[in-house]
Amino acid sequence: MSKVIVTADLCKQCGYCERHCPKEAISFSSDFNANGFKYAVVDDDKCIACGMCYTTCPDGVFEITQ
């Protein structure tokens, strides 16, 4: 299972998570979510499950699984 679950349709592409991730594990999709935003994507190989994205996101996009 991925370390972080992303609920893509909640993302509004504000970029907070990308700026705060200590491992530069977050990028944005090339396609669009239901609201017309590119959404956060986590590279599981880089992610250390620190929880910073969960803490930073104002829209509850992230769930940490471990």
Q: Is 57 in the site for ligand SF4 (CB under 6 A)?
A: yes
Of 1, 5, 13, 27, the one binding ligand SF4 by CB under 6 A: 13
The answer to whether the beta carbons of residues 27 and 17 sit under 8 Å apart is: no
From CA 34, how far away is CA 30, in angstroms rounded?
A: 13
Per-residue mark of binding to ligand SF4, 22-41 (x: CB under 6 A): xx-xx-------------x-
From CA 49, how far away is CA 36, in angstroms rounded?
A: 27
If one counts every other C-beta atom within 10 angstroms of the C-beta of residue 64, the result is 16
Q: Is 9 in the site for ligand SF4 (CB under 6 A)?
A: no
Binding footprint of ligand SF4 on the chain (CB under 6 A): 4, 11-17, 21-23, 25-26, 40, 42, 47-53, 56-57, 59, 61
